[in-house]
Amino acid sequence: MNFLFIALAPILIIAFYLYYRDKYEKEPLGLLIKALVAGGLITIPVIFTERFLLTYIDNYEGLSKAAYHAFVVAAFTEELFKYLALWILIWRNPNFNEKFDGIVYAVFISLGFAAVENVMYVTSYGIQVGWIRAFTAVPAHALFGITMGYFYGLARFYPEGRVTYLSKSIIYAIFLHGVYDFILMSQHQVLLLLFIPFIVYLWITGFKKMKSLSDRSRFRPLQKGS
């Protein structure tokens, strides 16, 4: 039980916080649970895709090997499947009626993925790893989700810039995730010094994005047929 508590507690804390921040119109709990479950289920295709991509990793050495692992194997695969889950579950759902909803659903999907990933790590490597991930990997997944959901929400409500926003939604999430993993996987002393500043940057920009859409999310209602 201690393993499960350590693995899932940060997930629940972030989920409750985000639910609280959705101050105008709370999303249906059933749909939020579906988003969490969808995030958990995508770990299955993610595992198989990452295993396939890892078969090519020996073609690289040094920092290029770390970059391939970080940006292609991990970031690209995980964020792509999160994005697909978000699209299938949310894009045409009538409850997606505020820009801030993009952040809510993207983060819940990310948290569902992080929950399964965290349980796997904690059961394999112990509680100490769980404590570390509670303050690093789990919030990072949520922050990648904020970036994805921010542009996803804008894409839904601003058809004139939809292609651009949808592209940014996936590209920026992959880039931030890739940088996070690359710093850790490189084990380069200079790069590791950038880890804490990068985490701080993720937090600051994440809260700014939430505040931006939270303050303005009701100022432009979704038009029929959009």
| Domain assignment present for 44 | yes
pLDDT tens, residue by residue, 8-42: 889 999 999 998 888 778 899 999 999 999 999 99
Q: Which of 196, 194, 195, 191 is nearest to 63 (CA)?
A: 191
| Domain assignment present for 212 | yes
Q: Is the pTM of this model over 0.85?
A: yes
Residue 43 is part of which domain span?
2-19+33-216
| Domain assignment present for 28 | no
Quickly list DSSP for 92-153.
T-TT--SHHHHHHHHHHHHHHHHHHHHHHHHHHH-HHHHHHHHHTHHHHHHHHHHHHHHHHH
Domain count, the chain: 1
Amino acid at 205: T
pLDDT tens, residue by residue, 92-112: 999 998 999 999 999 999 999
| Domain assignment present for 24 | no
